[in-house]
Each structure stands twice: as C-alpha cells, then as structure tokens.
Structure 1
Amino acid sequence: MNVIPFPSLACPLDGAPLFGHGPAWRCAAGHSFDIASQGYGNLLPVQQKRSRDPGDSKEMVAARRRFLNAGHYQPIAAAVSRAVLDGLPDDATISCLDAGCGEGYYLRQLAAAQDNGQTLAVLGLDISKWAVLSAAKQDQRPNWIVGTNAHLPVLAKTLDRVLCMFGFPVYAEFARVLKPGGRLLQVDAGPDHLRELREIIYPALKPERAADQQVPAGFCRLSMETVRFSLCLDSQELIADLLAMTPHLYRASAEGRGRAAALTTLAVTVDVRLTSFGREA
C-alpha cells in the first residue's frame, strides 16, 4: 500500500488551510507552526491546552509501545484494518485520521494490511507530545501532529475514515471532517475487557452499565463487531506495561497497584466492541 501524508490540514487558530513552507506550516493570515526535526508538528495552541503537558506521559507511551509492538493486540488491529478497507477498490485513494493515535500502532498496522494499488493518506493526532514523537520516530510517512479532538486541525469534509481507538470521541468534530459517506470506526472496552486484572486491583467491580445504543447526530450505525480473545502474560514487566497503558493505573489504589506488581503471570481476557458509523449526507 502506498502511504502518503494527509494534506488537508487547517490552522488551529482560524481554520484556514495550512501550507508547507520549508520546516513549517503556515496559513494565509501568517500563523506559523514549526515541524520538528523528528517529523511531527504541534498544532495545539496554548489556549487549547488544559495542562502544561497534557495526555499520556513519556513512561505510559513507552509501556504502550512495548506492549503493542509485541503483537498482543494484533487481532484488534486486524479487525480495524478490515473495517477501514471494507468495500474499497484496489486502486482507491483514501484518507484516514487516527484521532488519539498514541504511538501510532494501529495506523502502522493499517498501512501494512494489504499489498495492492491502494493509496492511503494518513494523519495521526494525539494530545500527548510524547506519543506523537514516538509515532514519528517509528514511521515518518504519515503526518503526525499534536492536537486535540475537540478542535481538529483538519479541513471540513476531507476524510474518508476516522479511527477512535479507546479514545475520547468528539462526534461533532468527527462529523465535520468526514466526507458524506465516510466512516467512523470506534473501538471501546467491552464488559469483560481486562476483567481478571481489574478483579485484582479493585476491591470490587462496579456493575456493568447497559451499552449505550444511541447513534451520534449526523451518523448512522453500519455494524458492530466483538473482538474477544485471551492473553497469557508471563512476566511482571509485561503485566506492568499493560496496566501502565490503561486508565486503571491512576484509578487503582496504591494497594491495588501493589497487588498487580506482585504478579508474575496473568491470564487476561481482551473484550472490545468495534462499531462502524456512516457519515450521513
């Protein structure tokens, strides 16, 4: 598959198109955003930040990189890649945003999914500069940018696919940037996701809430798929990496984290829901 950078970026300050000018992106009003030597750009203005260093920390990103690159979530990546490419001709050119891309694992898996004549214009966005830096170091073909889902620096109606992997969906923004007929592919934790780990780190599990069947405004539901499999984690380091890449790292008490740290093996269930939404005309 031919992988190219996604070109239709927008200025995060005024929404105008951005154009490349050497090692920077600029809009017609003169707003300029540097492209780092590692190949990524920062399109997150200070007024759109909620903290000094938002998003995942350097340590969390490193844990996720080790865990995902070892292939433990490859069945999820394969299901997402199939959903992205479903129904597309072999010579199609498609544009895809991973909104909350982390260190870029799912986009790299998508780029490697098929060896054919398709062209994939790729944009990975995350609010964590550490995540985007890690992604850019591993593959410089896509555009990698620091940004926020709440104000996507993307021109309207320019994307064929948007991925939201265990992230924070902002449906109004996703609807704005998707072309009519484009698709939003959303992956969320199912009721049994990492249940065995959660039973160890929490005193008791909260009752599962009923699945939200509401369809976001501007979309129609196309399909829903369950991806479920078991993992056998055979080292303290691997278990620690799994915990570090989840929100449970901060939700658990010190005692709960201590119980997890004492484990040397853990059999755990992976249970996720992959929902495909179509952008209505």
Structure 2
Amino acid sequence: MSITPFQALACPLDDEPLQRDGKVWRCAHGHSFDVARQGYVHLLPVQNKRSRDPGDSKQMVAARRRFLNAGHYRPIAEAVSRAALAGLPTDATANCLDAGCGEGYYLRELADAAGEQPLALLGLDISKWAVLAAAKQDKRASWVVGSNARLPVQPGTLDRLLCLFGFPVYGEFARALKPGGELLQVDAGPDHLRELREIIYPALKPERTAEPPAPEGFMPLAAETIRYPLALTGAERIADLLAMTPHLYRASAEGRARAAALDSLTVSVDVRLKRFVRDATD
C-alpha cells in the first residue's frame, strides 16, 4: 500500500521521539498518549490550550465537511496534490504533514492522487472535532490533535508540509522540514468570496497587493493562482460556506441575516498557492 501512517511523532511535553506500542504512544521519559477508539491521538497538553475547546466547533467542522465533500474546492485540492507530489522520489516514503488539516479533505485528496508514490501522512489540527471527523473518514493517515505553535513532530523529518487557509508558524515549519523539503501554503486572494463579503459587510477593507518576502529559513519556488466562479444553489450550501469561514463571526447580525435570505449565489474562488523550499544552508 502506498499510503502509510506517519511514524515520526514527538512527545509534546519533552520533544522526545514517540514510539507506538499497541494503542499507546510513549516516549523514553515515560509520557504516554492513548490512541482513541476512532484512531487519533491527542498531543495538545492542557497547559498549551488557550481555551477549553480550541479551534473550530463541531458545527463548523460539519459545515466544512458537507461543503468540501460536495467538491466545491476540488480544483484547489488538485493543484495542492500536484504540487505536493512533484519531485518526490518514488523509491522512498515521503513524510507529509497537513498543519491545520480540518476534517481531512485535502489529505484524502492527496492520498487518492498519490498513485504508486509512497507517502506517510499526518493530519494535525487544534480542534478535536476536526480531528475526530478526519479520523472517522479515513484510516490511511495518522491524525493528531495538536498545535502549529509546537508541532509534535521530530525535527528534520518532513518532505512536504501543507498549510491551507491556516495559521503558519514558520519557525516550527522550518524545524520540522528536511533541508530541501517544501512548504505549500494556500491563502485567500483579493477576490476570494468577494460577492459574499459584499453582502455581509457594509464595506470591504482594501486588499494588500504586495507579495510578502519569503519567510526566514525558506526560499520561494513557483506560485500559482487558482481562480474560478462557484455557483451555489440552496440556502443550506450558502450557510455552510459562511459557517466554515471566519466571516461567520466577523459579520454583524444584519449581515448574517442578508446571507441567510439568499437561495442562490455565485462567488469568486480566488486563492494563491505558494511553494517554499527549506533552505539547506540554515
């Protein structure tokens, strides 16, 4: 089988390598972490939580699952999979982490696209609801509750790291990637969901147009824009789109009510896929 679980986990308490023993992951200092019945492991110590239930709520995860499984963002997933698989050696297993994996859609698409390319996949999210949903849907990858601020991953072990609509922590990403490993980052472009934003906000903020420099420890590679119109029919689909974005909480009650009154909407999908290579000289 070309897709295998990820093995290079690290203890979130002391950074020691974790070894799996049946239904438990253990480090040399005796810290242990149980594998849940659904197949995921919780590697977010309580002292590193900023709230009792951090990350996306159960309702947001359900909305994202319905929206993504309907294929609305498949062109994004296809572009990410192509970029992630490009240049990987076919005679060795490549380690790939999705940092902020949500309910696992993009890793599932990557696993389906891999063909004979051997991959060890890890999905990480701070939301236990997201990781639970991911683990229920796919058993090929490893799934962990954890934080980008302190990845429970051994240093220099990743060939690819995905951060898709997420919160990049470049120092941690550089630590976890091998020299020559690649970071794939997807961010919203200036016109992303513009039509929805025009409905829920009284005015849109000016968009930043300048491309920021490559993060420290990385060198830029080719970037691409994925752009297409997306027609949504039915109030439920529009509600799911709004619920899976930060706009649900940023919009006023009046703005949310205007969106809820719609039964059809065509929005622009406009995202930027940027690739960075881990600098081998650092």
If the length of structure 2 is used for normalisation, what is the TM-score?
0.98
Aligned-residue offset at 1:211? 3.3
Aligned-residue offset at 1:214? 1.2
Q: How many residues align?
A: 280
What are the superposed Cα offsets for residues 84-122 of structure 1, whole Å, 9 maximum, x if unpaired? 011234444211000000000000000011422x11100
What are the superposed Cα offsets for residues 144-177 of structure 1, whole Å, 9 maximum, x if unpaired? 0000000000000000000000000000000000
Match of 2:149 in 1: 150
Q: Tell me the SS of whatever aligns to 1:150.
A: coil
Match of 1:182 in 2: 181
Match for 1:271: what amino acid? D
Match of 1:60 in 2: 60
Q: Tell me the SS of whatever aligns to 2:154.
A: coil
Tell me if 1:272 matches 2:252: no
Match of 2:195 in 1: 196
Match of 1:79 in 2: 79
- What are the equivalent positions in structure 2 for 1:70-219 lying under 5 Å apart? 70-116=70-116, 118-219=117-218
Match of 2:25 in 1: 25
Match for 1:219: what amino acid? F
* Residues 85 and 114, structure 2, Cα contact 8 Å, conserved in 1: no
Aligned-residue offset at 1:22? 2.0
**For 1:88 and 1:133, how far apart are their aligned partners in 2?**
29
**For 2:245 and 2:95, how far apart are their aligned partners in 1?**
28
**For 2:16 and 2:89, how far apart are their aligned partners in 1?**
32
**For 1:141 and 1:114, how far apart are their aligned partners in 2?**
12
Match of 1:50 in 2: 50
Match for 2:237: what amino acid? L
Match of 2:5 in 1: 5
**For 1:13 and 1:212, how far apart are their aligned partners in 2?**
37
Tell me if 1:260 matches 2:259: yes
Match for 1:9: what amino acid? L
Tell me if 1:233 matches 2:232: yes
What are the superposed Cα offsets for residues 53-99 of structure 1, whole Å, 9 maximum, x if unpaired? 00000000000000000100000000000000112344442110000
Query: Larger deviation: 40-49 or 212-221?
Result: 212-221
Aligned-residue offset at 1:225? 0.3
**For 2:259 and 2:110, how far apart are their aligned partners in 1?**
32
Match for 1:186: what amino acid? Q
**For 1:154 and 1:129, how far apart are their aligned partners in 2?**
18
Aligned-residue offset at 1:223? 1.2
Match for 1:77: what amino acid? A
**For 1:89 and 1:156, how far apart are their aligned partners in 2?**
20
What are the superposed Cα offsets for residues 124-157 of structure 1, whole Å, 9 maximum, x if unpaired? 0000000000000000121100000000000000
Counting aligned pairs with the same residue, the percent is: 73
* Distance verdict in 2 for CA 1:199–1:54, change over 3 Å: same
* Residues 201 and 251, structure 2, Cα contact 8 Å, conserved in 1: yes
**For 1:205 and 1:267, how far apart are their aligned partners in 2?**
18
Q: Tell me the SS of whatever aligns to 2:180.
A: strand
Q: Tell me the SS of whatever aligns to 1:209.
A: coil
Aligned-residue offset at 1:4? 0.5
Q: Tell me the SS of whatever aligns to 1:112.
A: helix
Match for 1:121: what amino acid? A
Root-mean-square deviation over aligned CA pairs: 0.9
Q: Tell me the SS of whatever aligns to 2:149.
A: helix
Q: Can you give the 5+ residue segments of structure 2 that lack an aligned partner in the other structure?
A: none
**For 1:153 and 1:89, how far apart are their aligned partners in 2?**
25
**For 1:114 and 1:181, how far apart are their aligned partners in 2?**
20
**For 2:34 and 2:199, how far apart are their aligned partners in 1?**
45
